[in-house]
Amino acid sequence: MSSRAFRGPLVLLLFLVLTNFNIIFLGQSLVATANSNPIGGEPQALHPGLFHGGSPSVNWYDLGVAWWQWEPAGKMIERAFRSGHIPMWDSEIGGGIDSHVSINQTQYYPPYIALLLAGDTPLLRDFYYLAELYASGLFCYLFLRRNGFHLISAVCMGAVYMLGGSMTQNINSSTGQSFAVLPMMLWATDLVLRLATWRFVGIGAFLLALAGSTSFFPVVISGYLAAGLYVAVTVGCDLCASPAEHRRGAWIRGGKAIAAQVLSLLLLSFLLIPVELASGMDGTFSRWYRGLGLQHYSLDQMITLISPSVGFDVLQLANPDAQLFTAPPVPSPFYVGLIPLLLALLAFGKLPGRFQRLRIFFASATALLFLKLVGALPAQWIGLLPVFQNLHFIPYFCGALALGFAGLAGLGIEGLIHTSSGRTTAVGSLSLLAIALCVMRFDRQSR
């Protein structure tokens, strides 16, 4: 294998090291219970960002899950595995919970099991979190490279997703694992569509089931939704581009990709069926999550696309009595960043024809998710469907939205590589001006 094949992964690794310099070289930590005190007081080691109002976690999302559930459960699961059995009950949370049907424990995800069996020390957890970050960017890179993109464009997509809010704000919580596997789900689906043999259907199903074993199903569902849309766009484009006698092959490839998704769900049935049964038997679950699928952002909070520290969720529901929303709003993970947004706009310029399929996919996926998150019709109707009506879309579908923006940013870079025009120069100049103004504004707000 040529040394050139390693250039992109090495650049991504360099980005990871530079952006986590304090973790790797200065002894600070990403571990939630190591960098902040859940009882009170200031962050002890890691200062993730400036904050207002005395909150020590404005740039971290839902650290309570890590403080009170995930990390303590990790110790319980470690003890259980070392004693030779799979834990089915966690007595440390509340009055005790069935850990098999909890979506926070993650005791069936092989990389996490390896972490626990290796000792689950803070140093190992930091390595594990950084490895998850890197893997999320690497699969973005591999996905674009397989589809003929330039190395720089592929690195751009990987870096945008790896360093975006959905990853950096969630990586030290149980949801972080599920956000990290979204690019792998897309890559696995593309693998089946390209090779379309039953052997690779099995490999793709295994990889999708591996992603599902991270257990945080609301996020994983967004990955299945994105993968299904990718199959639909790919088959549609192949049908339009192929002569009639070759269209049967497109249907076969699409059918095998769907078969891989169905098979992966069957592999996960040992988890999915008990979770569904447990939720149906719990009246509190129904009251808590009723109407949740209709939750959406207020448009005046779209500034959170740019900065995770200046805006909060504005929650609007058809059912205002849902218990979840009696609590104060929490910091939002709805963070993409200004530079990726500007690069995404460039994706709609002139591009070679071979990239049209991916432009359609990333644009339609991003539009669908964005319209749902702001409650626009008809996308808002998704929240009325079975399963989807109980999903907390704003935090849990933002990873898929960030993946869509990352793909568009990669397409924007690809367009710059293939074209050079006065319009591109003008857009670049305006982009730099917008970045400068935005930085100055947020710098003043944080003082």
Q: How far lies 293's CA from each of 72, 165, 187, 367, 392, in Å?
A: 30, 22, 28, 18, 6
Position 25 pLDDT exceeds 80? yes
Could you tell me the pTM of the whole model? Answer: 0.87
- pLDDT band of residue 1 (cuts 50, 70, 90) is low
What pLDDT is stored for residue 435 in this prediction?
A: 62
Confidence label for 400 from pLDDT (cuts 50, 70 and 90): very high
Residues 130-165: pLDDT tens digits?
999 999 999 999 999 999 998 989 999 999 999 888
Is residue 185 predicted with pLDDT exceeding 90? yes
Average pLDDT value for residue range 240-251 = 79
Greater confidence, 447 or 75? 75
What's the pLDDT score for residue 254?
Answer: 93
What pLDDT is stored for residue 337 in this prediction?
Answer: 82
Say what the pLDDT of residue 86 is: 83
Reported as type and span, the H/E element at residue 90 is strand 89-90
Give φ, ψ of 386 to 5 degrees. -55, 145
List Cα–Cα distances, 126 to 9, 131, 172, 438, in angstroms: 20, 9, 9, 32
Exposed, middle or buried by CB within 10 Å (0-12, 13-18, 19+), for 217?
buried
Report percent pLDDT > 70 for the chain: 77
**pLDDT given for residue 285 in this prediction:** 67
Share above pLDDT 90 across residues of the chain, in percent, rounded to a whole number: 34
**CA dist 283 to 198, 279, 288, 291, Å?**
42, 8, 9, 14
Higher pLDDT, 377 or 435: 377
User: Strand, coil or helix: what is 312?
Assistant: strand
Q: pLDDT tens digits, residue range 49-101?
A: 444 444 445 566 667 778 878 888 888 888 888 888 888 887 776 677 788 87
3-state secondary structure of 153: helix
Cα distance between residue 236 and residue 409, in whole Å: 23
Say which residue, 97 or 1, is predicted with more confidence. 97
Q: pLDDT for 374-388, tens place per residue?
A: 888 888 888 888 888
Give φ, ψ of 145 to 5 degrees.
Answer: -65, -40
The predicted pLDDT at position 47 comes to 46
pLDDT band (50, 70, 90) for residue 326: very low
Q: What is the structure's pLDDT at 340?
A: 87
Answer yes or no: is pLDDT of 284 > 90: no
Higher pLDDT, 67 or 119: 119
Report whether pLDDT(320) > 70. Answer: no
Q: Is 152 exposed, middle or buried (0-12, 13-18, 19+ CB in 10 A)?
A: middle
pLDDT of 323:
40
341-380 tens-digit pLDDT: 888 888 888 888 888 999 999 999 999 998 888 888 888 8
The Cα–Cα gap between 294 and 314 comes to 13
Which residue reads 């002890």 in tokens?
44
State the pLDDT at residue 276: 78
3 state DSSP class of 97: strand
Average pLDDT over residues 113-129: 92
Per-residue confidence band for 438, with pLDDT thresholds at 50, 70 and 90: low
